[in-house]
Amino acid sequence: MQCPKCHAAMHTYNRNGVQIEQCSGCRGIFLDYGELEALTRLESQWVQQAPPPPAPGGYPAAPAPAAPAWGAPHHGGHHKHHRNRGFGRMLFSS
Amino acid sequence: MCPGGGGPAGADTLGAVTAALVRSLSRLARTAAHPAAPACPACGSADETLADRPDGTVVRHGDAVAKAHAPGTEAGPHAVRLAVAGHPALAGVLLAPLPERATGPAGRPLSAWPYGRPVDPADPEAAPWEQAAVLLARMHRVDPGVLPGPLPPMRGPLKLAAALARMEREAGGHPAAAEVRRAWRGLPGTVRGAGGRAPVPAALCHGDLHLGQLVRHPAPDGPWVLIDVDDLGLGDPAWDLARPAAWFAAGLLAPDVWLRFLGAYTDAGGPAVPDPADPWRTLDAPARALTVQTAALALARAAAAGREPDEVERAVLDACTRIGTLAPELERGAPS
């Protein structure tokens, strides 16, 4: 199967019983009919096991900007701003 | 690099080479600052070394600075990059060079530039994020066809490969190096330089954006412009946004600063983010690449200083670990 976006080959993987096609070039993912629903079911099972959200109070959370799946946790929540010397150096270096 | 400073073996030789280089740069900066005079008049300006790194030494004299470009700089592409910086299409975007040129020790090309006031490292809150974004958008929108050529490729992917190689040499045995390697292997071929089509048409890119690449010219209060053309060339413009994107994704850059930067870029019509509602469609792969590059250099720098990575460097290494465990996890089972 070829990726509709970049035309590289797509490979099939089985994750928790869900067939997923992933492109070897752009890493886009193709889902067959019903697979998104299967993933949603898995996600809701996982969410049910997760601890409850923190109690309301304090500041209302500002809308968090979109972040990648591999982004640091707590975006949009309690930010750990590294406004220290280490980050200052990193801002100015290649 | 302080001669006689008790450094590693060969430090004296390195010091002598640097001293010769700085003398060459001083001569060029003086000539550029006073083009009409055969020698520097008593102008009262002292020479000041602004930067001294293996890939670039910069000396200031009055209103002019002279830069020694990296050893091994290719003459042809270097000349094109300087010509692009001086082209009217980039006026107000890239600082234009002064006409003076020279060749330094070991054949390193030397160039002369007007002095501009840099971003204050002590005040990152005042950093010109929006201005940087608008300058990038303007650069990316320039039609490459009107520029001097042949335009070399933007050196982003080369810098990624060089960072990995440096990590292997200097910190390959560190436990975190395995995480960086794994994240690198999971990067798409388009960013590893292994071919494939970029998601948007190639544009003129800066190739090495960070806050040290902006100055106000004329100093001290002129408009902000971009400097340093050493990595400039044709490529995927998303690379120029990828370093701030990587900082944001690592939790280092505050979300509001990231939004200001990204918003200014899309408002200025920058082509690297065709859909402002879905910026990570084009930014994800280059941001992962810059995360890997930053982590690899962090490990090498920490090893060179004989210390463990600090808190900021660990945040980038952690992002690498997440990159390595997220997307490539799909590949662990053999594809059917």
pLDDT reported for residue B21: 87
What would the two tokens of residue B137 be?
């958008």
* Backbone dihedral angles phi then psi of residue B220, each to the nearest 5 degrees: -95, -10
Mind listing the pLDDT tens digit for each residue in B13-52? 657 777 888 888 999 999 888 876 655 666 777 789 998 8
What is d(CA B110, CA B57) in angstroms, rounded to the nearest whole number?
A: 9
Helix then strand then coil, in percent of chain A rounded to 5, is 25, 15, 60
Residues B81 and B137 in one domain: no
Contact B335 A90 (CB under 8 A): no
Among residues B88, B113, B138, the one where a domain terminates is B113
If asked whether residues B27 and B167 sit together in one domain, one would say: no
Last residue of a domain, which of B113, B133, B155? B113
Exposed (0-12), middle (13-18) or buried (19+): which is B264, by Cβ within 10 Å? buried
Are B93 and B146 members of one domain? no
Contacts of B311 in chain A (CB under 8 A): 82, 84, 86
The verdict on a CB contact (< 8 Å) between A72 and B119 is no
Residue B3 included in any domain: no
Cβ contact A26–B190 (<8 Å): yes
End-to-end CA distance of chain A: 40
CB nearest to A88's CB, from B124, B318, B327: B124
**Residue among A22, A64, A88 whose CB faces B121 most closely:** A88
| Facing residue for B335 by CB, picked from A12, A25, A83 | A12
| pLDDT score for B25 | 92
Q: Supply the pLDDT for residue A15.
A: 66
Same structural domain, B107 and B141: no
> What digits encode the pLDDT tens for the residues B67-120?
999 999 999 999 999 999 999 999 999 999 999 999 998 899 999 999 999 999
Q: Count Cβ atoms within 10 A of the Cβ of residue B73 and give its class: 0-12 exposed, 13-18 middle, 19 or more buried.
A: middle
Residue A12 Cα, gap to closest chain B Cα (Å): 5
Q: B85 in contact with A at a CB cutoff of 8 Å?
A: no
Do B108 and B132 lie in a common domain?
no
Position B239 pLDDT exceeds 50: yes
Last residue of one domain, picked from the residues B89, B113, B137: B113
- State the total domains in chain B: 2
For the beta carbon of residue B85, count every other beta carbon within 10 angstroms.
23
Q: Which residue has the higher pLDDT, A88 or B237?
A: B237
Cα nearest neighbour of A80 on chain B = B251
Instruction: Kindly state the tokens that stand for B111.
Output: 């160039």
Prediction pTM value = 0.79
- For residue B26, is it within any domain? yes
Provide mean pLDDT across the span B232-238. Answer: 96
Please tell me the predicted confidence (pLDDT) of residue A77: 41
pLDDT score for B194: 67
CATH of the domain at B314: 3.90.1200.10
CB–CB contact A72 B251 (8 Å) = yes
Which residues of chain B are within 8 Å of residue A75 when distances are taken between CB atoms? 251, 255
Distance CA B105, CA B175 (A): 39
Report CB contact under 8 Å: A70, B319: yes
| Same-domain status, B105 and B132 | no
Residue B260 and residue B314 in one domain: yes
Cis peptide before B118 (omega within 30 of 0): no
Same domain, B154 and B78: no
Radius of gyration for chain A, computed over Cα atoms and rounded to the nearest angstrom: 19
Conformational region of residue B300, where left means phi above 0, alpha means psi within -120 to 50, and beta covers everything else: alpha
Only one residue has tokens 């997440």, namely: B322
Give the C-alpha distances (Å, rounded to integers) separating B172 from B167, B181, B217, B258. 6, 10, 42, 32
Which of B1-15, B42-56, B244-258 is the least confident region?
Answer: B1-15
Contacts (Cβ under 8 Å, ≥6 apart) of B185? B324, B328
Mutate to test the interface with A, among B253, B256, B313 (most CBs of A within 10 A): B253
Q: CA of A55, closest CA in chain B: separation in Å?
A: 23
Pick the residue of B200, B261, B312, B331 with the most A CBs within 10 A to test the interface with A by mutation: B312
B200 plus B69 within the same structural domain: no
Residue B327's domain comprises 124-331
Does B174 lie in the same domain as B81?
no
What are the pLDDT digits (tens) for B120-132?
988 877 899 999 9
Q: Given B212, B313, B327, which is nearest A92 (Cβ)?
A: B212
Q: Which of residues 223-262 of B touch A (CB under 8 A)?
A: 247-252, 254-256, 258-259, 262
pLDDT of B125 reads: 72
What integer is the mean pLDDT of B156-173?
96
Both B169 and B130 in one domain: the answer is yes
Q: Please write the tens of the pLDDT for every residue from B168-202.
A: 999 999 999 999 999 999 998 888 876 666 667 89
| Segment A21-77, tens digit of pLDDT | 787 777 778 777 777 777 777 666 665 555 545 444 445 555 688 999 999 985 444
Q: Check: CB of residue B11 under 8 Å from CB of residue B3.
A: yes
The verdict on residue B229 lying in a domain is yes
Residue A32, pLDDT score: 73
State the CATH number of the domain containing residue B83. 3.30.200
What residues form DSSP beta bridges with B67? B58, B111
Which DSSP category does A82 fall into? -
Residue among B107, B38, B103, B101 nearest B71 (CA): B107
Average pLDDT for chain B: 89
For residue B94, what is the DSSP state? B
Task: Return the pLDDT at B305.
Answer: 96
Q: How high is the pLDDT of residue A12?
A: 77
Q: Which residues contact B18 (CB under 8 A, 6 or more apart)?
A: B1, B3, B52, B57
- List the domain boundaries for chain A: 10-48
Same domain, B143 and B276: yes
The answer to whether the Cβ–Cβ distance between A71 and B196 falls below 8 Å is no
Which of A26, A70, A82 has the CB atom closest to B249's CB atom?
Answer: A70
pLDDT digits (tens, 9 = 90+) for B314-325: 999 999 999 998
Q: If you average pLDDT over residues B210-225, what whole number do you get?
A: 96
Q: Is the pLDDT of residue B226 over 90?
A: yes
Residue contacts between A and B (CB atoms, under 8 Å): 136
Phi, psi of A81 (to 5 degrees): -80, 120
Region B226-252: mean pLDDT is 96
Q: A24: which chain B residues are within 8 Å (Cβ-Cβ)? A: 189
